[in-house]
């Protein structure tokens, strides 16, 4: 019985959404890393909201995300730089999203609930 519980918990453990490195890099030129991280935290909030809201179509993702990018004042990134087919599929298909990850300057960072600019910046110092 215990073995059965372990198998179920492994299957339901969510994976982070991995953002497209090249699209993120294309948007970050000329911006301070702190500003990039702050915007990525806002992006994670948008993605998490979409997942929790239970959106069911790509059109609903696009409309809601564009509105939230404006509302949250996401300055560096735009819908097209974040919402690749892979990200859209994960938002539509995941039970619960817990984090987003991306590689910046050859450092893999992960942003999850409660992340602050300072906590994410600490990942660069590892």
* Residue 3 located in a structural domain: no
Q: What is the C-alpha separation between 43 and 57, in angstroms, rounded? A: 19
pTM: 0.82
Structural domain boundaries enclosing 76: 16-125
The answer to whether 89 and 116 have CB atoms below 8 angstroms apart is no
Cα–Cα distances (Å) from 9 to 5, 14, 48, 67, 89, in that order, read 6, 10, 21, 35, 22
Contact partners, residue 62, CB within 8 Å, separation at least 6: 79, 83
Number of domains in the chain: 1
* Residue 56 located in a structural domain: yes
Q: What is the C-alpha separation between 110 and 101, in angstroms, rounded? A: 4
Q: Which residue has the higher pLDDT, 5 or 97?
A: 97
What digits encode the pLDDT tens for the residues 48-92? Answer: 999 888 888 999 999 999 999 999 999 999 999 999 999 998 888
* Residue 4 located in a structural domain: no
pLDDT band at residue 4 under the 50/70/90 scheme: very low
């Amino acid at each position: 019985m215990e073995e059965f519980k372990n198998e179920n918990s492994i299957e339901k453990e969510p994976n982070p959404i991995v953002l497209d490195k090249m699209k993120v890099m294309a948007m970050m030129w000329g911006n301070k890393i702190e500003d990039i991280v702050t915007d990525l935290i806002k992006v994670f909030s948008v993605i998490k909201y979409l997942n929790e809201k239970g959106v069911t179509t790509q059109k609903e993702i696009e409309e809601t995300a564009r509105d939230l990018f404006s509302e949250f004042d996401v300055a560096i990134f735009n819908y097209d730089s974040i919402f690749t087919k892979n990200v859209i599929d994960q938002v539509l298909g995941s039970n619960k999203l817990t984090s987003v990850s991306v590689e910046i300057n050859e450092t893999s960072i992960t942003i999850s609930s409660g992340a602050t600019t300072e906590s994410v910046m600490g990942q660069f110092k590892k």
